[in-house]
């Protein structure tokens, strides 16, 4: 009599229950993957390698296979939470041990500016240079910049507008050519803020004055000071008035890059601080029209900005980490690199929602999200465990019955053996 079969069944079922219990325990663990017990039967080897009536000697646990199917993605509202929709693993490192791989995207920023998980492992990817250009190459921990963004002095201004062709002529018959405090000496006005080399604000005001049919003068002030001429005798931006086409669809005068130079050495802001001059700007009126409709500015842009401090980050679906600054600007601070494997089931679980590569898994194939066979990233979301809790509970009941059945087979063999020993 052999108790081997029943005993192996008890051992195998016990391990199956351990796997099921581990699955249930991690049903709410983000990025966790379900494991499945895979069994194989056992046979004793015959002396001559033959025999058709061999009886098996039980079962054993052949493998604990993890199932790398996609888990549900749930939104969290935290911009540092990341979910991979598709193939790939985050690469994390502690700086000492080999790179680990994870599907758990619960990341934070540490005191040094690194993006880290709860195990203090740093997320890896490509860095960006000072201008925000991504530098592909060997992945390294992504570190956000601590310094603010430098100011950018304004160089170009663009105004898209319509001047009312029905407006009356407002040019005075005698000097001064315009009185900025007298609306009767001009037709319309608008303004824009530009920035000097220090990022200080300079308020430019534009005054449009009709001199004749299809002819307009433009006067400009900087912080209330006339840019051309003097404050007492302002002069227009161009020597001759800007001429519009007879149908009003555009200008006859070339207005793609009108020089606008601010040269006053004593120009100050309202607080009395000196503005850095000269400021050499160009004004474009491309798109300006003169139709029989009211005055309206449809687009007014300039290319400068003030200095700013880092106020937050955002991550897009291609893994680019965008640093956002207090001046409204943003630029890339790095890009996340993902890794994939030909045999993910060959990865070794090491705890902390991470796996280590092995010979069975093969070397990682790396790339950026949303390219090749890599999945896309979704910020403000996490991938839930792919464990089916209901299915695991049913599996637990089944394993319990199998355990009881194997115990019953041992009990039955014991009774048979007892019967034999009582034959005398």
Look at residue 217 and tell me if it is in a domain: yes
41 confidence band (pLDDT: 50, 70, 90): confident
Look at residue 403 and tell me if it is in a domain: yes
Domain boundary among 279, 302, 325: 302
**163 plus 241 within the same structural domain:** yes
What is residue 46's predicted lDDT score, i.e. its pLDDT?
54
**Least confident interval from 21-30, 129-138, 200-209, 348-357:** 129-138
**89 plus 104 within the same structural domain:** yes
* DSSP class of 193: E
Domain boundary among 278, 302, 326: 302
Report the alpha-carbon angle 362-364-365, nearest 5: 120
Checking if the pLDDT of 424 tops 80, the result is: no
Judge whether 133 and 334 are in contact, CB under 8 Å.
no
- d(CA 344, CA 349) in angstroms, rounded, equals 11
Q: Token digits for 351?
A: 């705890």
Look at residue 310 and tell me if it is in a domain: no
Distance of CA 76 to the CA centre of its chain: 15
Mean pLDDT, the chain, integer: 91
**280 plus 341 within the same structural domain:** no
What are 234-265's pLDDT values in tens digits? 999 999 999 999 999 999 999 999 999 999 99
3-state secondary structure (DSSP) of residue 321 = strand
Comparison of pLDDT for 48 and 309, the residue scoring more: 309
Other beta carbons less than 10 A from residue 256's beta carbon: 12
* Short-list 189, 184, 224, 174, CA closest to 203: 224
Task: Please name the residue that has the structure tokens 């979910």.
Answer: 83
**CATH code at 209?**
2.60.98.20
Look at residue 39 and tell me if it is in a domain: yes
**271 plus 198 within the same structural domain:** yes
Judge whether 187 and 163 are in contact, CB under 8 Å.
yes
3-state secondary structure (DSSP) of residue 294 = coil
**290 plus 260 within the same structural domain:** yes
**118 plus 237 within the same structural domain:** no
**261 plus 275 within the same structural domain:** yes
Q: Mean of the pLDDT values across residues 298-316?
A: 92
**105 plus 169 within the same structural domain:** no
Q: Number of folded domains in the chain? A: 3
- d(CA 190, CA 188) in angstroms, rounded, equals 7
356 confidence band (pLDDT: 50, 70, 90): very high
**234 plus 276 within the same structural domain:** yes
What are 371-389's pLDDT values in tens digits? 888 999 999 999 999 999 9
Look at residue 81 and tell me if it is in a domain: yes
Checking if the pLDDT of 1 tops 80, the result is: no
Q: Mean of the pLDDT values across residues 12-37?
A: 91
**272 plus 211 within the same structural domain:** yes
**63 plus 134 within the same structural domain:** no
What is residue 51's predicted lDDT score, i.e. its pLDDT?
59
Which residues make beta-bridge pairs with 195? 201
- d(CA 189, CA 296) in angstroms, rounded, equals 10
Look at residue 103 and tell me if it is in a domain: yes
Look at residue 241 and tell me if it is in a domain: yes
Structural domain for 84, as ranges: 74-143+335-383
Look at residue 308 and tell me if it is in a domain: no
Find all residues with CB under 8 Å of 70, minimum gap 6, and list them. 85, 86, 383, 386
**190 plus 277 within the same structural domain:** yes
Comparison of pLDDT for 420 and 401, the residue scoring more: 401
What are 177-230's pLDDT values in tens digits? 999 999 999 999 999 999 999 999 999 999 999 999 999 999 999 999 999 999
3-state secondary structure (DSSP) of residue 249 = coil
E strand or H helix at 162, and its extent? strand 156-162
């Amino acid at each position: 009599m052999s108790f081997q079969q029943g005993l192996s069944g008890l051992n195998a079922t016990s391990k199956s229950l351990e796997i099921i219990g581990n699955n249930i325990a991690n049903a709410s663990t983000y990025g966790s993957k379900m494991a499945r017990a895979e069994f194989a039967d056992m046979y004793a080897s015959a002396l001559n390698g033959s025999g058709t009536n061999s009886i098996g000697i039980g079962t054993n646990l052949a493998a604990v296979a993890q199932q790398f199917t996609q888990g549900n993605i749930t939104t969290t509202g935290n911009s540092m939470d990341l979910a991979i929709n598709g193939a790939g693993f985050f690469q994390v490192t502690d700086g000492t041990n080999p790179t680990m791989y994870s599907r758990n995207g619960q990341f934070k920023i540490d005191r040094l500016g690194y993006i880290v998980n709860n195990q203090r492992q740093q997320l890896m990817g490509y860095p960006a240079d000072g201008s925000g250009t991504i530098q592909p190459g060997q992945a390294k921990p992504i570190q956000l910049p601590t310094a603010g963004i430098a100011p950018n002095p304004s160089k170009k201004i663009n105004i898209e507008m319509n001047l009312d062709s029905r407006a009356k002529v407002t040019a005075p018959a005698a000097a001064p050519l315009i009185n900025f405090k007298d609306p009767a000496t001009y037709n319309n006005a608008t303004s824009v803020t530009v920035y000097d080399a220090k990022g200080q604000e300079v308020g430019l005001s534009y005054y449009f004055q009709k001199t004749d049919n299809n002819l307009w003068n433009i006067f400009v002030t900087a912080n209330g000071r006339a840019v051309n001429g003097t404050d007492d005798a302002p002069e227009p931006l161009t020597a001759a008035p800007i001429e519009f086409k007879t149908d009003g669809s555009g200008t006859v005068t070339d207005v793609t890059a009108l020089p606008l130079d601010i040269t006053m050495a004593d120009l100050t802001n309202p607080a009395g601080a000196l503005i850095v001059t000269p400021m050499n700007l160009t004004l474009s009126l491309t798109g300006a029209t003169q139709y029989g409709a009211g005055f309206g500015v449809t687009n007014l842009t300039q290319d400068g900005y003030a200095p700013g401090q880092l106020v937050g980050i955002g991550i897009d679906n291609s893994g680019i980490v965008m640093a956002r600054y207090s001046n409204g600007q943003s630029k890339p601070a790095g890009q996340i690199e993902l890794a994939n494997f030909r045999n993910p089931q060959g990865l070794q679980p090491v705890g902390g929602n991470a796996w280590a590569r092995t010979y069975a898994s093969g070397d990682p194939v790396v790339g950026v999200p949303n390219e090749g066979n890599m999945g896309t990233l979704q910020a403000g979301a996490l991938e839930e465990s792919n464990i089916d809790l209901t299915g695991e509970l049913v599996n637990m009941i089944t394993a319990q019955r199998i355990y009881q059945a194997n115990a019953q087979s041992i009990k039955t063999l014991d009774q048979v053996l007892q019967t034999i020993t009582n034959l005398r």
